[in-house]
Every structure is written in structure tokens, then in C-alpha cells.
Structure 1
Amino acid sequence: MELKKITTRAIAAGVAAATLLSLAACGSGSNSADTKDDGSEMTVEVFDSLASSQGLQKSGWFAKIVKDKFNIKLNIIAPNVSGGDTVFDTRSASGNLGDLVIVGTGNGRLNKLVKAKLIEDMTPYYSSMKNVKKYDSAVKSIAKQAGKDGVWGVPQGVSSQSPTDPSEGNESAAAPYIRWDIYKEIGYPQIKDLDGLLNVLKQMQDRARQDTGKDDIYAMSLFKDRDGDMMQNAASICSWFGYTNQGSVFISADGKDVQPATKEGGIYQQALEFLNKAESMGLVDPDSTTQDWDTMRTKVTNGKTMLSIWSWLGKPRMNSDENKAKGVGFMLAPLENMKVYSDGFQPDGDGATIVAIGSKAKNKARLAKFIDWMYSPEGIYASSSNSGGAACPKDLGCFTTDKDGKNPTLTKFGQQAMTGDHANLKVSAKLGGSSYDDGYSKLNFKAVSQNDIDPNTGEAYNPLLWKSNQDETELFKDWSAHMENATNDIDYLQKAGKLSIAAGASYTTPQEDSTVSATRSSVKSETVNASWQAITAAGKFEKTLDEARTKIDNLGYKEVLKVDQQNAKDLIQARKDIVKQAK
């Protein structure tokens, strides 16, 4: 995100904290069981921090499923679309955040929501929530985070799988993905390290320009509008080597190393140096310092880039069925020294985001049933979207099974919904009408890990992992032949010993002192600014970073680092604890 947005949100977070604390004494929530529900249609207001669209979802296939099962309509309030943290502040001040609440819990927010009586204790309904109860330890972890006994919410992304198994399914989130067709054209050269990757990317850029006659093709194109504690593009490159960032520090998957982004010669500086060298070689799109995500992703779709830092950038925009049949698309590069970071499955879910019932909601028992349904196989399929993850529902015509309910297989409709032209895929009127894209759930809440196992079929919810859905395209076959005959990216990384799995712990950073938050905001701004300056600083890379370290230290970074190091220590302990719990 842009620096202005970072600062604004940091200030807003402080206001939100003050708002919640002021409400703690005057909230009027009730933990008693609901009054009798007559079953009539009701419109449910959903405060949804994850949603990217808002308003009443009154038509389409998901709306019809929800209406038929629960006789409710969902009216989504999405701060991401309009209002930002101001929406949270205003609704909190009114004492009514929403009937259903999907919200982040970080920095002590959950504890404040409970104290302010803005969310309901679901204990009276919990005995009937048979699907949620399968993840009882996840529910208890939320109660611990809330600082009070009760059923205050259910986290997203829960799983029944081992926390030491990779949760991504068939591909890592952040890893070096290259235009495999162009890599093939230049003869599959060896890629030993990041310097070797730059040399290969230079050859690929030259070849692509030669093939097309276009000189606006670059090895990589970057963007600024999602930067946070640091430059996101560089931070993600650190994940290629087994690190994730939390606050201002990087933590290795095995927990043996914690280092600040400012560390001289550290993993973040190595990523910045890679980008600096790329810039000096003419491999970076000159629009990178000014363009946003939307502009950059359009360039990827139009074949203007050779490198994708993430699987979810290049693959969905280039690897269409038509392109893959021709051998065209992004595939994982054989970078010899990579050790790709992977999050393990989270038995206790992603405690950073929960779904809860608002204290002022009516017919709470019905809402509890709706939440429970989202954690059922039927609800998981019904919550599918158009960007990967779980298959769309069997009853929508998305897949079939054999007579025993096993061997799930996508239908033609399902294939188009999952990987084809889903925007123009029509849904019959009796199933909700309109198009597939118009109809999918706008909640953007994934209750259960999409790569978890459906107990009915015995296979993952994600159709990309089905036995019936193995990739047989020209692109995949050529890639596999050069990558140890791997069946997918994760399979290759595991076979080659290039995967670093961090145990899937549910951990949320606690509330921090307001002075630390204020200093953190300044540190973020300086870190991000210096990062962009460093990659474009011809001959002044080291000097730019040295000056930035001095500025950051003078801002009082020592206190922020102390907090982040303790939080890192707690995360590492949480990883150890979840592994013990799973045994």
C-alpha cells in the first residue's frame, strides 16, 4: 500500500482502539440464548474486513443457496471498498458493528471487541455447531486471545492436517516463476543463484523482444501500492530463501534466525541488491516506481514480463488452457539455491481473522447455524470463488463423483468456473441465474483450508489436487521433464530439498504501546522509501542503505525492534507448541 495510506491507517488504528475502550463501559451485549426465531426472512448485516465488494448480495447462485437453507440475505459492509477504518470506528461507536462480524484480531482488537460487548459469546449455541466443534482447539485459541472464556469467534483457514505439511497444495505463494516458453527458447540454462537468474532473465528479455519486435518487454515489473512494513516485492523475494516477515523482522521457517530488515548484509538487503542489479542491467520496467497493482498485472497478462515473484501473479494471467496447450506460461524456475518458505497447515486456523456474531443481532441461533455450515463440506464448496481454492458446488454442476461419492471429477462447467472464462459462464435460473462470477460469495472468508481433505470424497477441496485433474498440457509436460518429473511445484521442491516449512501455528501479535505504534509508522515510511531509493540508486546502493539505517535508528527503532523480537520469539514458541499438540 502507499505510504500515505500506511500512515493514515496507523492513526486510524489508534482512534479505533480509543473508540473500543470508551465503549467497554457502555456496551449492552448479551450472552443469553436467543428469543424464539419464527424463521421469517431476514437481512443480515455483515461487517466484513476481507470483502472487496459491498451491498446486498440478493441474487446469484451463492445467494440462492443461503436463502434456501437459512432464509437470510447478506448485506455486506466492506471497509476495504469505502471508508476504511473510519467505518469500523463509526459502527463501533454506535455499539453495533454488525449482525455477523468478519474482522482482524491483531494488536489486541479481539480483546477490545469482547470488553466493549460488540460481539456475542456463542456458548449457548456451541453444542449444536457440529462442524465447528471439530476444530475445538481453534475455538479455544480464540478465547485465549480474547482474554475471556467463551466462544467469541471462529478463525478462518482451520485444518485437520498436520502442521508440518505444506498447506499451499500444488504451488508456493512466493517463489521464482518464469516464462517457461521463453526459457525453453534460450536452451534451459542453469540457474545457480540470484546472479545467475539475472543473467538468464537478460537473455529471456532479449529473446522476447526479438520474437515480438517490442521493446516494452522487461524481465520484471514492480508496484508500490501494497507496501507495508517494508517493500513488498523485496520482502517476498526473501520467501524464496525460507524467510517470512512479521513487523520489521524476518523469521526463518525453522525459527533459528530472526533478523531486522535493517541488518547489514541480511536477507532483505540481499533481495534489494538483486533488484538493484536488475535495474542496472535494464531489466526493470521503468514504470515500477509509479504504477499500481492493476497496471502491473495488466502487463503480465499482455506478456510484458518474464518473472513473477508469486505464483498467484503470473500463472492466473498467462497460463490459460489455450496458452498451456501451446507450451506458453509461467512455471517454477530451477533456482538451485532457493529454499522456498511454506506455511504448514494450521489446526488452530489463522487466528488473525475470525467470524463472530454481533451482540445486537437478532436470531443468533440461526446465525450460529450459518457459521457452522460454512465449516461443513457443503459450505466450503459453496464459498468457492473464481481464483482457485475449493471447487464450486457439486449441486451447481461443477463436479461429479462415482457411486460411492469418491473420485471427484470436474465437469465442463466446473472446469470453466475454476480455470476458464468464468465471467461469461451462465448459471441456470433455477440455480440462481446470472453468471458464475456475479453469483459467487462476496464474503471472501475461507473457513477451512482449501487444501484440506473432504471426508466424503477422501480428496482435497481444491480440484487442482484431484487425481482426476492432473495437468497433461504441453507446458506442464515440458516443465516436469526438466524438473525431476515432478507432479507439481510443491512435489519438485520437496524432492529437491528446496522447501522450508514453518509449522502452522495460529499466532496474532498482541496490543502494543501507542508510542511504539507511532514510531513503527515512521520506521515503515523510512524503510519503504529507502528500499525504493536503493534499487534505483546507481552506484550508491550501500550508501543509501547506510544513511537509512542511521535515520531509522534515530527515529527510536530500538524500542520497535525489542517488541518485534519478542513477538518473533512468541511465534516460534507457538510453532513448537502446535507441533507438540498435533502428536
Structure 2
Amino acid sequence: MKLPKKAVAVASALAMVGLLTSCIGGAPEAEQAAISEFPEKWDEEITVDVFDELANYMGVQEGWFGDLVKKKFNMKLNIIAPNVAGGGDTLYNTRVSAGDLGDLIVTSKGKKLNELVEGGLVLDSAPFYPAMKNVEKFDTAVTHLNDGKDGVYAFPTSVSSIKPTEPSEGIDPTFGPYLRWDLYKQLGYPELNTLEDLLPVLKDMQDLEPTAPNGAKVYAISLFKDWDGNMMVTAKQPTTFYGYDERGFVLAKADGSDYQSILDDDGEYLRTLKFYYEANKLGLVDPESTTQNYDTMWSKVQNGQVLFSWWPWLGQAAYNTDANTQAGKGFQIAPLKDMKVFAYGAEAYGAQQVITIGSKAEDPERIAAFIDWLYSPEGTYANNSQTMGAAGPQGLTWDLDDSGQPALTELGQQAFIGGEAEVPAEWGGGSYIDGGSTLNVSAVLPADVDKETGLPFNYKTWPTYQELVKTPLSEDWKAKMGDAPTSMDYLKDNDQLLVAPGASYTPPTDPSEIETLRNQVKAVIVQYSWKMSFAASEAEFEQLKSQLQEEAEGLGYDKVLEFDMESAKAQNEAREKVAEKLG
């Protein structure tokens, strides 16, 4: 087995003396015997503190996932979640100051990981690495992540054997123009050449269904504010239909062929603001957009009050219930003829998050065994979130059918299609959804292929599932789209997808001056973006645009833009290198 190059010397020494003396940052030296395999069982029950920056749950993991971990490792997971605790980085800083962040840590690579290594808060896992047979399959990513470190301090997430030039998202891209297909069908599937062609079509759709079943007024478009950052987040989304994604104040095309300032007169960001202005002028934009948050907007989509979505995980997830789709109602992608949808390539070296073992962990060997299990097929099926297509444990929510194909069990169908299921007592009992993994991080990308079945871990890609979820809505969409099985298949077959190679690029941290300037400028950009979207006239729109450009420039926009442009181009260089090496 190949070890990360910095760990090879360590492993050699281990082979000779059977011990590892590792100095982590300023921590005292500690000895750990090397192991080549983990025990088959663990006699003493332990509780492991999991400091997880992605978790949305605080407390001991319960339900079927907690039961599975208990049976396999005699271990309980006590989740410590900054997202739930609130206070930004307060919880992190407090625990770091105390010298004990957690026994198992999910954090970000780059600056934060480096600080934890240098501060002695994470353990060198080189002694356990020879026993981590499942992680071994992704040794290239482990090597890359720990390059420059004298040991194996962290393990990558969302790793995959898929080429970095292939999309990572499964059956749907992250972005795309999703419409209420049933209303679009009633109009006779009008041709959509460009983004702007959506406007008259959305107007006609809104006229077809002006009132939702709950009696509320229907609007084609509903926006929200609480995700705004460097820009108005909903104004960025349509730029992805043309292959762009954001890097600070830059829109960078997936193939590196174009870089735009978001304030360019003829750029895609201002084009979207003009699109919203025109839509609002036609009465298509929900007037509550300026004050509502994402959750409120989601509820409106769920209730049939919204007809357009930028993401499948909004329109389809909220509205495409079994009852609606059986009635032929629901959101489906409606391709614009000139679009090239941005797709994230499979990350060759893993995502931004990493998994580490805390230096104060009392039983690091058992935690290493648990981490290794997360990279196994069993762990991949069990740990990934349901929204990522996690099939859950074999024998509970899925199994192999008579033909050897993976298929959902009756309980799996209840959980994933019906929306909920009760778990038998022998699997831990309780609600299936409530009992799922609260780690909220995938060790292995769900789109990766299980070598045993020859199909992705994501159950939504299975032929048995596709057959199971046939509805009047899906069949009508397929018939209109050349019999494409999924949105991703259609986009690939019609050359309407632009994949950004997964280079696992980590952007540089803003220097203090850039951070200060950015915070001033982005507030102005967001403020004016909303004003422009709801301008009373075209003259006012143009005036606001000029004011925005002038004020932003006066606050140091160009300096931040230069910094972001360098980052965007460095990101593309990393993409080109990984595509050449592994694509």
C-alpha cells in the first residue's frame, strides 16, 4: 500500500521499531504503536465528542445511524455543532483556547487545518493509516491533502474515483431553469432561445394559474435576501445557466474562457438584474421578496405559489410530491437553447471540508476505524444525507432484487418516496429521517460507483428507482426531451453542460485590508441590486446602475476585484492541471 510521501518515512520507522514518536506542533511527544488492522470488536463503550462545523444537530446521535455505529464500534457520537450553538466562531475559539476541540473534528482545509496542526489540536494518524483499507482507495487525495505536513493529519471528504472532468451532481445539475412543467405544457411548450424568452412564457403561465390551492396569489418568481453575500444571491443564479460561477466579485466561466466583473455593463450579473426588473414590470415578482427569507420562500414554492426555480433542490424538492407528480404537476428543467449549465466536476482531491482526529482523543484507534468505515460501501450508503441520494443501510431501506440489481425495500419506498417511515426496533426504532446521520458530510461522493453493484451509491440513479418513480409528469418530460432518462443525461447529450474540473482549489484568505474593503463594497452591491430589480422605470434602473458602479469604485471595488481576479485565474490553472493529470 502506498502511503502519503511524508508518511512513508514514518511508516518505515514504524516497521523497524513498532513505535511512532510524533511531535505535533507544540504538543508533547507521544508514542503510538503502528497497526495493520483494526480489532473486530470493541469491548468498552465510549462516547466521542464530534466537533462538526457542518452539523445542524446538537447532542448524541440517535436513531438507526446511532444504533449502527453503536453495534459496529460500541461508540456513541456526541455532536457539537457551531451552527446550532450560534455565536459564529465563539464556540470554536473557546474550545481551541482550552486545547481540546473534540475527539473527532470536521473542519475546513487550508488555513484552519494548518492552524490546528501547528497548535497541536489534531493527531497524526500515520500509525493507523496502514489499517485504513477503505481510505487506501483514495490515497491520492490523502497524499495531496497532507502534502507539506509531517504525517497524516486529515482525511478528505466527497472523494471519488470519478474523473474530475465529469459532473459530480448525479441526476440533476446544481443549477438550471426549472419551471412548472404542467403549465409550460398547457402553453404548448413554447420555444426558449435565451433567458429573456422566459419572461413572456412566465407571464402566460402566471395568467393560467393566478391563484394557488391555498388561495394565495401566484407569482412566477419569488426572491429572498438571507443568503446575500458578495452580491444578491438570486441574481447570481441565472449566470450559472451560461457556465459562470462566482469567485468573490468575479464571475468565472467553468472552462476558463471568460472572467467578468459583476459590475461590467455587458456582464451576466447586471443582465440578471435587468431580467428581474423586466419581470417585476410585468407583475411576475413576488413583492414580499425584499423582506422574506429562504424558509418563507420555500413554503411558497411548496404551496404552489411560485412557478420558477434556479435549482432542482428547491422547485422539485418542495413541490414535486407524489400527489402532484401523479397529477402531472411539478417542476422540470426547461432548457434555453443558448445555455451551457455550470456543473461541478468531481473533486479529485476532495471537498473543502476534512475529517481529523483530535489530539486529546482517548481512543484514537477506534475513531480511526470509524473514519475508515465512512469510506467503505456500507459507510457510504449509511452516512450520506438523504438529499444527496443516500440509500441507507442494506437490508433496511434497500437490497438486491432477484436480478441482482439494487432496489428500495418497502420501507425505503416509504422513507424516500412517501416522505417518512418508522424504523423497526432491531434497527434502532423511531423515525427514519430523524435517525439519519447528523454528520452532514460525505466521505465518498454519492455519485461514485459501488464496485459490487456497478451502479452509483445514489439510489436516484438506479434503474429500479427510475422505473418506480415514473409519473405522468416525468413521462411527459421525457417524451418532450428526446426520451432522456434524467436532466443530466439531456444536458450531456445536447452539449448544454459546462463542467468545471474538480481541482479541490482552496482560495486565499482575504488580507485584512481586502476584507475591510470587501465588507463595505458588498453591502453597497447588495443594496443597489435590490433597488435595481424593483426600479420604477428603465431610467431609474440605469441611474441606480451608474450610482452603484461609482459608489463601489469609490469604496475600493477595483482593489478587491483585482484580488478576486487573481484567485479566479489561479483556480482555473488548478482545474487545467488536474484535468490534464487525471481527466
Fold shared by both chains (TM-score > 0.5): yes
Instruction: Note if contact 2:183-2:208 (Cα within 8 Å) is conserved in structure 1.
Output: yes
Q: 2:118 maps to what in 1?
A: 115
Question: How has the CA–CA distance of structure 1 residues 213 and 443 changed in structure 2, closer, same or farther, with 3 Å as cutoff?
Answer: closer
Could you say which residue in structure 1 is the equivalent of 2:519? 521
CA drift at 1:579: 1.4
Q: Which residue of 2 aligns with 1:492?
A: 490
The 3 A distance-change label for structure 1 pair 230 and 39 is farther
How does 1:123-134 map onto structure 2 within 5 Å? 123-134=126-137
Q: For the Cα contact (< 8 Å) 2:243–2:340, is it kept in 1?
A: yes
Q: What is aligned with 2:567?
A: 567
> Offset at 1:93?
1.1
Q: Structure 1 stretch 64-73 or stretch 542-551: which is displaced more? A: 542-551
What residue in structure 1 maps to residue 387 of structure 2? 387
SS of the aligned residue for 2:82 comes to coil
Following superposition, the deviation at residue 384 of structure 1 comes to 3.5
Query: In structure 1, what is the Cα distance between the partners aligned to 2:392 and 2:406?
Result: 12
SS of 2:284's equivalent in the other structure is coil
What is the CA distance between 1:575 and its match in structure 2?
A: 0.8
CA deviation vs aligned residue, 1:411-434 (integer Å, no higher than 9, x gap)? 221122223222xx1111111011
Aligned counterpart, 2:11? none
- Equivalent position SS for 1:250: strand
1:362-441 equivalences under 5 Å are 362-395=362-395, 397-402=396-401, 406-422=404-420, 425-441=421-437
Q: Which residue of 2 aligns with 1:93?
A: 97
Aligned to 1:7: none
Does the 8 A contact of 1:390 with 1:451 survive in 2? Answer: no
Aligned counterpart, 1:512: 510
Structure 1 residue 402 displacement after superposition: 4.5
Q: Higher mean Cα deviation, 244-253 or 204-213?
A: 204-213
Runs of 4+ more than 6 Å apart: 34-38
| SS of alignment partner, residue 328 of structure 1 | coil
1:220 to 2:221 alignment = yes
Gap change, CA 1:411 and 1:25, over 3 Å in 2: closer
User: What secondary structure is seen at the aligned counterpart in 1 of 2:252?
Assistant: strand
Q: Which residue of 1 aligns with 2:174?
A: 173
Q: Is the 8 A contact 2:60 2:79 kept in 1?
A: yes
> How many Å apart are 1:212 and its aligned residue?
5.8
Q: 1:213 to 1:303 in 2, by over 3 A?
A: closer
Where in structure 2 are there 5+ consecutive unaligned residues?
1-22
Q: Which range is displaced more, 65-74 or 181-190?
A: 181-190
Please give the alpha-carbon distance, in whole angstroms, between the structure 2 residues aligned to 1:78 and 1:322. 36
Judge conservation of contact 2:157–2:441 (CA < 8 Å) in 1.
Answer: yes
The CA deviation at 1:138 is 1.1
Once the two structures are overlaid, the 10-residue window that deviates more, 297-306 or 547-556, is 547-556
Match for residue 6 of structure 1?
Answer: none
Amino acid at match of 2:576: K
Letter in 2 for 1:141: H
1:527-549: CA deviations, max 9, x gaps?
21221121112222222122112
* Aligned residues of 1:29 and 1:120 also touching (Cα < 8 A): no
**C-alpha deviation, 1:520, in angstroms:** 1.7
**1:474 is the counterpart of 2:478:** no
Q: Report the Cα distance in structure 1 between the residues aligned to 2:120 and 2:212, rounded to whole angstroms.
A: 63
Show the 5 A alignment for 1:158-557. Answer: 158-209=159-210, 214=215, 216-350=217-351, 352-395=352-395, 397-402=396-401, 406-422=404-420, 425-470=421-466, 471-539=469-537, 540-557=540-557
Indicate the residue corresponding to 1:135 in structure 2. Answer: 138
Change (3 A) 1:50 1:426: same
Give the gaps of 5 or more residues in structure 1. Answer: 1-23
CA gap of 1:496–1:242, structure 2 versus 1, over 3 A, is same
Contact 2:53 / 2:82 at 8 angstroms: preserved in 1? yes
Does the 8 A contact of 1:380 with 1:448 survive in 2? yes
Query: Cα–Cα, structure 1 residues 535 and 394, in superposed 2: closer, same or farther, change >3 Å?
Result: same
**Residues 33 and 576 (structure 1), Cα distance of their counterparts in 2 relative to 1, 3 Å cut:** same
Partner of 1:74: 77
1:287/1:367 CA distance change after superposition, 3 Å: same
Q: For structure 1, which segment, 245-254 or 521-530, has the greater mean C-alpha deviation from structure 2 after superposition?
A: 521-530
3-state SS, counterpart of residue 343 of structure 1: strand
- CA distance in 1: counterparts of 2:92 and 2:209, whole angstroms: 48
Residue 29 of structure 1: how far off its partner (Å): 6.5
Contact 2:211/2:217, CA 8 A, preserved across alignment = no
**Letter of the 2:501 counterpart:** A
Q: TM-score, normalised by structure 2?
A: 0.91
Q: Distance in 1 between the 2:503 and 2:476 partners?
A: 37
Shift of 1:141: 2.1
| Partners of 1:161 and 1:535 in 2: CA distance | 40
Separation in 2 of the partners of 1:30 and 1:193?
63
Equivalent residues of 2:384, 2:441 under 8 A apart: no
Question: Is the contact between residue 524 and residue 548 of structure 2 (CA under 8 Å) also seen in structure 1?
Answer: yes
Percent of aligned positions that are identical: 44
Displacement of 1:214 in angstroms is 4.6
- Residue 385 of structure 1 and its aligned partner are, at CA, apart by 3.2
More moved, 213-222 vs 296-305: 213-222
Choose 486-495 or 205-214, whichever is displaced more: 205-214
Q: 1:281 to 1:85 in 2, by over 3 A?
A: same
Q: Letter of the aligned partner of 2:150 in structure 1?
A: D
Contact kept? 2:346, 2:502, Cα under 8 Å: yes
Output one character per residue of 1:380-420: Cα deviation in whole Å (capped at 9) or x when no partner: 1111433242211113x21121478x410112211222232
Cα distance change on mapping 1:29 and 1:435 into 2, 3 Å:
farther
Residues 24 and 123, structure 2, Cα contact 8 Å, conserved in 1: no
> What CA deviation, in whole Å up to 9, does each residue of 1:546-567 have, x standing for no partner?
2112222222223322221121
Given that 1:31 and 1:121 are in contact with CA atoms closer than 8 Å, whether structure 2 keeps it comes out as no
Distance 1:512 1:421, change over 3 A: closer
Number of positions where the alignment pairs a residue of Structure 1 with one of Structure 2: 551
Partner Cα separation in structure 1 for residue 566 and residue 439 of structure 2:
34
Q: Could you list the per-position Cα deviations for residues 216-247 of structure 1 after superposition, in whole angstroms to 9, with x for gaps in the alignment?
A: 11001111111122111111111111011122
Question: What amino acid is aligned across from residue 406 of structure 2 in structure 1?
Answer: P
Please give the secondary structure, in 1, of the residue aligned with 2:278. helix
> Which letter maps to 1:121?
D
